[in-house]
């Protein structure tokens, strides 16, 4: 999973304007983020039509706020620069919940 460098919303929009992306918002200190991280490589493999980007909430606090991510771990999906779905809250997420969320998206 590519780690997103610190960037503005405009820079992010330029980066994700073509293709399908899953942004994973987390922080090192977040226990619920650490809970889902071991499942992410398998999720990435199973959903290889998406490019996964890891967003450190603390490094990208302005971007996180602009995207209205008020809880972590969270996932936002984009297709050709347009948001197509979000699983954004402060609850712990299981592999099954993330897969169910991704399966429910229009591709």
| Residues 41-66: tens digit of each pLDDT | 999 999 999 999 999 999 999 999 99
Q: How far apart are the first and last CA of the chain?
A: 20
Domain coverage including residue 62: 2-91
d(CA 77, CA 98): 11
Neighbours of 88 (CB within 10 A): 17
Q: What total number of domains does the chain contain?
A: 1
Contact 105, 77 (CB under 8 A): yes
Does 106 fall in a domain?
A: no
Does 47 fall in a domain?
A: yes
Active site amino acids: 30, 33
Does 32 fall in a domain?
A: yes
pLDDT tens digits for range 60-75: 999 999 999 999 999 9
- List the CATH number of the domain containing 35: 3.40.30.10
Does 101 fall in a domain?
A: no
Residue 38 tokens read as: 């071991």
């Amino acid at each position: 999973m590519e780690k997103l460098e610190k960037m503005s919303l405009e820079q992010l929009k330029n980066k994700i304007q073509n293709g399908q992306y899953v942004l994973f918002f987390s922080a090192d200190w977040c226990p619920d983020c650490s809970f889902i991280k071991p499942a992410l490589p398998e999720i990435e493999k199973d959903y290889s039509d998406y490019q996964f980007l890891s967003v450190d909430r603390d490094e990208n606090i302005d971007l996180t706020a602009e995207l209205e991510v008020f809880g972590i771990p969270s996932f936002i999906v984009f297709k050709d620069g347009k948001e197509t779905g979000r699983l954004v809250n402060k609850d712990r997420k299981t592999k099954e919940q993330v897969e169910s969320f991704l399966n429910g998206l229009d591709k």
